[in-house]
Copies of this chain bind each other. A is one copy, B any other.
């Protein structure tokens, strides 16, 4: 009786009914049948992402969606400021650089969030900057930035704001339109509760006016103008991963049945409970400004990350994430996104306690679970 329990910050657990939906017989994608799913997903995505803008569906990963957006938003003469405090922030700077975009790559300490004032200073100092790209929730460090505050600054200055919302959309409060986020990017396998293979991007009118006039054309498959033209007809410019789109329709329906703001509250409660549990059992948070969608703990003194993760997986089928790059062996991460609820959170905390206990970490067994329960019981 070996169960698989996904607590990785993507791919996240997928409801069984979504998996079964995708196993059902399917039709060709140039049909009313598929157009129906597209129409449904387009409407639901707007609601889940809290935007009036078209949410483009790209049959590729979130990275590909971001690549299309970065290329599209940077015609010659553009200048981008990227904020890099983790693996994903770095990736966006790397893409910009590779495509020959004039880019300032501002590095911050991993696990910290950018001070919005720093962005304001950059913009003031260098009026050539046309766009800023940030990671809303940096998955690699479990850190959240103040996207709303940043949006106020970029909007006032008339700059485009691109945001990697891959581990925030659908699980953390996010209001791209109200917050002046011009480009919101996300992926399938996080809060949207489907397996990997789709990326999403929603652009403001201001972003579209840049993309539409951009003649650089370094994107064919990832061309956003083509994607929008097709989307408006409930279609796609190239053969879509239509199985996943059908799963998406089901998964978004489940999220919306709960209500997106309730989902945000639930994710926040799981994160608060997990942090409370960590504190109760002597685990230190890695992030100085933790995201609610993924919690990163430092490994306690004398205990190896590989042992914690290995034992969680071997004994209880629990898949967690380790650290990336220089954080490898230093932190481990637990996600609160996707098909996971309060009691799954209690479960993973209990398992973590048992494993840490066995590995020699000193703490009061059960204290973490109790602390989490206190948070969760308050919500009933």
Contact = CB atoms under 8 A, between A and B. Distances in A.
Interface of A: 4, 6, 8, 10-11, 14, 19-20, 22-29, 31, 59-64, 67, 94-95, 98-99, 187, 189, 195-197, 217-218, 220-222, 238-244, 319, 321
A237 to B, nearest CB: 9
Among A28, A63, A244: residue with most chain B CB under 10 A: A28
Contacts of A321: 28
29 contacts: A4-B25, A4-B26, A6-B26, A6-B27, A8-B28, A11-B29, A11-B239, A14-B26, A19-B23, A22-B22, A22-B23, A23-B23, A26-B195, A59-B61, A60-B60, A60-B64, A60-B221, A61-B238, A63-B221, A67-B221, A99-B218, A195-B242, A196-B239, A197-B197, A197-B240, A197-B241, A197-B243, A241-B241, A241-B244
A129 to B, nearest CB: 22
A136 B8 CA distance: 42
Contact of A244 (B26, B31, B197, B238): B197
Give the interface SS of chain A, mostly helix, strand, loop or mixed: loop
B23 A221 contact: no
Contacts of A63: 220-221, 238-239
Nearest to A244: B197
B67 A239 contact: no
Nearest to A26: B195
A57 to B, nearest CB: 12
A11 B238 CA distance: 12
A11 B26 contact: yes
B195 A243 contact: yes
A100 to B, nearest CB: 8
A195 B246 CA distance: 12
B221 A189 contact: no
B23 A242 contact: no
A95 B241 CA distance: 21
Nearest to A33: B4
Contact of A243 (B20, B61, B196): B196
B59 A239 contact: no
B218 A221 contact: no
A311 B11 CA distance: 42
Contact of A238 (B4, B25, B64): B64
Contacts of A217: 98-99
5 closest cross-chain pairs (CB), A and B = A197-B241, A23-B23, A195-B243, A64-B221, A60-B60
